[in-house]
Amino acid sequence: MEINKAAEAVSSGAPTAVQLEAINHLAKAQLTAEQVYVFSLRLCDNQVDRDFERFDEGALPGLARLFLGKTGIVDHKWSSDKQVARIFETQVVKEKGVSFIKAWAYIRRGGANDEIIADIEAGIKKEVSVGCAMGRAVCSVCGSEYGTCAHQKGESYDGQVCCSILQEPMDAFEFSFVAVPAQREAGVLKSLGGKQPKLKELADEFGAQAEYRALYQQAELGKRYCKELEDSIVRLGLALELGVEAPVLRSIAKTAPTEDLLKLKAALEERLAESMPVTTQLSGGRGKEEAVESGFLI
């Protein structure tokens, strides 16, 4: 599950003595204040993003610790030549009721890095996103594991808009300078259990587009079949007058395994057949001896 949330890089300049000491804990060689440039970042926060997800406030301190020492790259390209910065300090800050992770990173001065520093100072390189892994997501409406209940992100239930609350930070990968992040306030590339490539990306990379298209078509047929199965459950339930409204039946059908739905459909059809037996339109003639004129017999 990949999501981008916009973050902000705030220029700072030369490091303080305390900051330089923290930087040198990460560096192989002792650096001087003249050799490095530091800037602050607003990473992820506890606000609902455009994909109707948010970090649990209690998860931010643990996630902040995981970002210590993580690298800063460009466009989320995980290669050594794209490394430009490193985080040396993080903390959770609360301002105007919003909690977020604030981080400080450093860049070594000189060469192409001076262009990056100039872009930060000019406000050109301002947006970033970060990569992390969260172990759990829960529904904001009912508190159950998201995906196991009938609530959908972005939908309103009794005036409450459902969102997925991300908990249990597992790892932090990097932060990256990006051109157009998807979120307004904080930049986040999130994945449950780890950053995983998309199936289409793998198909493109290994030349398996035909197999991907075949799988995609099968998946679409499967979705259509599941929808028809859900519709059947709703129709049968209403026909039998079970006293359950259509939205409730739909919710049950959406969350139950397909095998259970098939058994439920068969049971409902059997009950409907018992309560509404099929009768023929012509009746009363069976069992009676047909009268035949004897004059026509040979």
Q: Residue 132's pLDDT is what?
A: 86
The whole-chain average pLDDT of the chain stands at: 80
- As a whole number of angstroms, the longest Cα–Cα distance in the chain is 128
Consecutive H or E run containing 116: helix 113-121
Q: Residue 36's pLDDT is what?
A: 93
pLDDT at 119 over 50: yes
Tell me the HSE value of 22 on the side-chain side, using a 13 A CA sphere: 17
Q: Residue 35's pLDDT is what?
A: 93
pLDDT at 286 over 70: no
Maximum mean pLDDT: which of 11-15, 28-32, 238-242: 28-32
Domain boundaries of the chain, sorted by first residue? 7-132+169-196, 204-273
Q: What is the C-alpha to C-alpha distance for residues 44 and 51, in angstroms, rounded to an integer?
A: 14
Q: Residue 255's pLDDT is what?
A: 81
212-221 pLDDT, tens digit per residue, is: 778 878 888 8
Mean local confidence (pLDDT), 184-210: 56
Higher pLDDT, 78 or 243: 243
pLDDT-derived band of residue 124, with 50, 70 and 90 as boundaries?
Answer: confident
Q: What is the C-alpha to C-alpha distance for residues 24 and 116, in angstroms, rounded to an integer?
A: 21
8 A C-beta contact, residue 148 and residue 255: yes
pLDDT at 1 over 60: no
Residue of 43, 172, 40, 44 whose CA lies nearest to 106: 40
Maximum mean pLDDT: which of 25-34, 201-210, 233-242, 243-252: 25-34
Q: Residue 281's pLDDT is what?
A: 58
Q: Residue 42's pLDDT is what?
A: 86
Q: Residue 2's pLDDT is what?
A: 41
Q: Residue 109's pLDDT is what?
A: 92
pLDDT-derived band of residue 161, with 50, 70 and 90 as boundaries?
Answer: very high
Q: What is the C-alpha to C-alpha distance for residues 231 and 234, in angstroms, rounded to an integer?
A: 5
Q: Residue 11's pLDDT is what?
A: 46
Q: Can you point out the beta strands (E) in 57-110? A: 71-74, 85-95, 98-108
